[in-house]
Amino acid sequence: MVSDHTHSPDNDDFPQEINGLRMTRQRKEVYRCLMEHRVHPTAQDVFLEVKDKLPQISLATVYNCLEALTQHGIIRQVHFDRESCRYCPNLLDHGHFHDQATGKIHDVTFKPGVKLEDVLDLPPGTVVSNIELTLRGTIAS
């Protein structure tokens, strides 16, 4: 990994640090990949994409980057059954709809003003720290 002392093209307009996490070249590219395409890729998908920019990157490093970004609340994991994890840079409360016809995954938001407590029969005193909502189906044309 040859580094340029003066003005590397990766020093773009990109912040050097997010949420206290140092944004290395690898982390920047991984994050940029998620932000640009927003298709909820797997680690493998990200790996193939990022290799264009950083040919020497390894899959393990992609996993490391995704883990670091996740731990610092910059992105989130998305799970579909036991398939490979997918990653999402949308930090707003939302669920995921898997279109079984196209294979695409769409973000799904709650209608404005909706709170889970209004809708679910939770035991009194329940404090919910995390929600994962996954839908599957099709979209009629």
Partner DNA sequence: AATTAAAATAAGAATCATTCTTGACTGTGG
Partner DNA sequence: CCACAGTCAAGAATGATTCTTATTTTAATT
The footprint of Mn ion (CB under 5 A) covers 49, 52
Which is nearest to 114 in space by CA: 136, 131, 90, 139? 131
Residue from 35, 39, 59, 133 in contact with DNA (CB under 7 A): 59
- Residue 55 binding a second copy, by CB under 8 A: no
Q: Which amino acid is at 86?
A: R
46 binds DNA (CB under 7 A): no
Among 35, 39, 67, 135, binds DNA (CB under 7 A): 67
Give me the least distance between CB of 129 and Zn ion, in Å please: 18
Return the SS3 of 53: coil
CB of 70 to DNA, least distance (A): 9
The window from 20-28, 36-44, 47-55, 123-131 that contacts a second copy (CB under 8 A) reads 123-131
- Do the beta carbons of residue 68 and residue 30 sit within 8 Å? no
* Nearest distance, CB of residue 35 and Zn ion, angstroms: 12
Closest listed residue to residue 86, CA positions, set 101, 107, 100? 107
Alpha carbon 131 to chain centroid, angstroms:
15
Q: How far apart are CA 31 and CA 88, in angstroms?
A: 10
Asked if 127 is part of the footprint of a second copy (rule: CB under 8 A), the reply reads yes
Could you tell me if 66 and 46 are in contact, meaning their C-beta atoms sit under 8 angstroms apart?
A: yes
Q: Which residue's structure tokens are 């990994």?
A: 1
Footprint on this chain of Zn ion (rule: CB under 5 A): 88, 90, 107
Sites of contact with DNA (CB under 7 A): 1-3, 16, 21-22, 24-27, 42-44, 54, 56-61, 63-65, 67-68, 82, 84-85
